[in-house]
Amino acid sequence: MSDDADVPESHPRYESLLTRHRIEAGVDMGITSRQGLIAQGRGEAYDYLLGEATINSADRAERAAAAYLLRADHAVVSVNGNAAALVPGELVALAEATGADLEVNLFDRTEKRIERIADYLREHGAEDVKGLTADDRIPGLDHERAKVDADGIGDADVVLVPLEDGDRAEALGELGKTELVVDLNPLSRSAQVATVPIVDNIVRAIPNVTEHARDLRGDPDSQQEVIDSFDAETALTDAEAAIRGGV
């Protein structure tokens, strides 16, 4: 497959193949790490068991995430190599709809990858991309994900972290930041410590959070109501039940 158009739309698993192809292309472009391929495979397995659809509890989590992003003093959407390859334009649209910043933050950090991802986001309409300054550190982390911008994740009160590794999720939580996590594995440490765990494929989750944000924008009462009625434990239990028992 050389580009998206080579996957026939009639294929029963068209979306899944397209997603896989985007990760492959991400590796070729120097955006996605090779480990990203493994992460994608793991995600696909969970997604298959979820019926490759957004379950109701994930939709509620996506609405809650939208409300948190809108109510934040300073929201940041963290972007890694998988997220950039899969949903670059959708991340830019989400940032626009919620007023959040975009910040590149990588587990396997190289300056080259950071710059390529920032360029890729700009090609998809981003005006300001953070993550290149890296003048602040998240305490308690001894890997590259500790490096953040002081006026980005360092200053944020709400951070959306797609496809996260558990260490940083815990460290951000300890700093008192509200974490919105997108992860297809409800048992992953990042999903478990999130204020809002979104157990859904990022390709469906990000556009749906944006849609909810557009719906909730300018309505602080509804935003608060959505936040107050959201229960993370229930979202995780529902997702696990769907995966184990079938939807």
Q: Which residues bind ligand PTJ (CB under 6 A)?
A: 33, 35-36, 39-40, 42-43, 46, 80-82, 86, 106-108, 163, 165, 182-185, 188, 201-202
Whichever of 1 and 38 has its CB closer to ligand PTJ, that residue is 38
CA distance 51 to 239: 12
Through-space distance between the first and last CA atoms of the chain, rounded to whole angstroms: 31
Nearest to 88 by CA among 16, 162, 149: 162
Whichever of 106 and 118 has its CB closer to ligand PTJ, that residue is 106
Whichever of 7 and 223 has its CB closer to ligand PTJ, that residue is 7
Beta bridge partners of 78: 103
Whichever of 81 and 154 has its CB closer to ligand PTJ, that residue is 81
Evaluate whether 178 touches 72 at the Cβ level (below 8 Å): yes
Instruction: Give CA 95 to chain center in angstroms.
Output: 12
CA distance 237 to 57: 9
Which residue sits closest to ligand PTJ, CB atoms considered?
Answer: 43
Identify the H or E element spanning 177: none
Tell the smallest beta-carbon distance from residue 198 to ligand PTJ (Å): 8
